[in-house]
A and B are shown apart, each in its own frame.
Chain A
Amino acid sequence: MNNDIFDKETTQLYLLGLLPGPQTLQYDELSVVDDDFNHFLRNVENDLVDSYINGSMDASTLKNFESFYLASPKRMERVAFARTLYRLADRDPTSRLLTRESLAPAVPGFWDKLRFVLNPARLSVAAVVLVCLIGAAWFALTSRPGPGNSGLSKNEPANLSSAANGVIATELFPPTEPPSHAEIATPANNLRVEKRPAIRKEALNTPTPEQRTAPVVATFVLSPPLRGSQPKNITVASNVERIVFRLELEPSEFSAYRLELRDQSNKVLWSSGKMRSTGSDSRKSLTATVPANLLQARNYVFSVSGIPASGEPEIIGDYPFSVVR
Chain B
Amino acid sequence: MEITKSSTISTKTSWSLSESTFRSFLDWLDGDEPSDGARYLEMRDRLAWYFDRKNCLNPDDLADETLNRVARRLEEEGEIRSDTPAKYCYTVARFVFLEYLRRPDGKNIALDEGPNIEKTSYLLASPNSDETELNERRHRCLEKCTDSLDPASRNVILRYYLGKQRAKIDNREALAKSLGITTNALTIRACRIRSKLESCVRKCVG
Residues of B in contact (CB 8 Å), total 71
A164 to B199, CA, bound (A): 71
- The answer on a CB contact under 8 Å between B86 and A103 is no
Chain A proximity of B135: nearest CB distance (Å): 7
- The answer on a CB contact under 8 Å between B105 and A103 is no
A273 to B108, CA, bound (A): 5
At the interface, yes or no: A88 with Cβ under 8 Å from chain B? yes
At the interface, yes or no: B19 with Cβ under 8 Å from chain A? no
Chain A proximity of B106: nearest CB distance (Å): 10
Chain B proximity of A64: nearest CB distance (Å): 14
At the interface, yes or no: B11 with Cβ under 8 Å from chain A? no
Chain B proximity of A149: nearest CB distance (Å): 65
Residue-wise interface mask of A (262-280) relative to B, using a CB-CB cutoff of 8 A (1 in contact, 0 not): 0000000011111110000
Majority secondary structure of chain B interface residues (helix, strand, loop or mixed): helix
- The answer on a CB contact under 8 Å between A1 and B184 is yes
**Which residues of B, 148-174, contact A by the 8 Å Cβ criterion?**
155, 157-165, 167, 170-171, 174
Chain A proximity of B57: nearest CB distance (Å): 5
- The answer on a CB contact under 8 Å between B126 and A28 is no
At the interface, yes or no: B180 with Cβ under 8 Å from chain A? no
Chain B residues, CB < 8 A from A217: 125-127
Chain B proximity of A78: nearest CB distance (Å): 7
Residue-wise interface mask of B (62-101) relative to A, using a CB-CB cutoff of 8 A (1 in contact, 0 not): 0000000000000000000000101101100110000000
- The answer on a CB contact under 8 Å between A274 and B158 is no
A15 to B128, CA, bound (A): 30
Q: Which of A42, A46, A81, A87 has the most CB of B within 10 A?
A: A81
- The answer on a CB contact under 8 Å between A95 and B138 is no
A1 to B127, CA, bound (A): 41
- The answer on a CB contact under 8 Å between B125 and A39 is no
Chain B residues, CB < 8 A from A12: none
Cβ contacts A to B, 24 pairs, < 8 Å: A15-B53, A31-B49, A32-B43, A32-B50, A43-B191, A46-B194, A71-B110, A73-B116, A73-B122, A75-B52, A76-B124, A81-B142, A81-B197, A84-B201, A85-B194, A214-B125, A242-B124, A244-B126, A271-B108, A272-B113, A274-B57, A274-B108, A274-B114, A288-B112
Residues of chain A whose beta carbon lies under 8 Å from any beta carbon of chain B: 1, 3, 14-15, 17, 28-29, 31-33, 38-39, 42-43, 46, 54, 56, 70-81, 83-90, 92, 94-96, 98-99, 102-103, 206, 209, 214-215, 217, 219, 242, 244, 256, 258-259, 270-276, 286-290
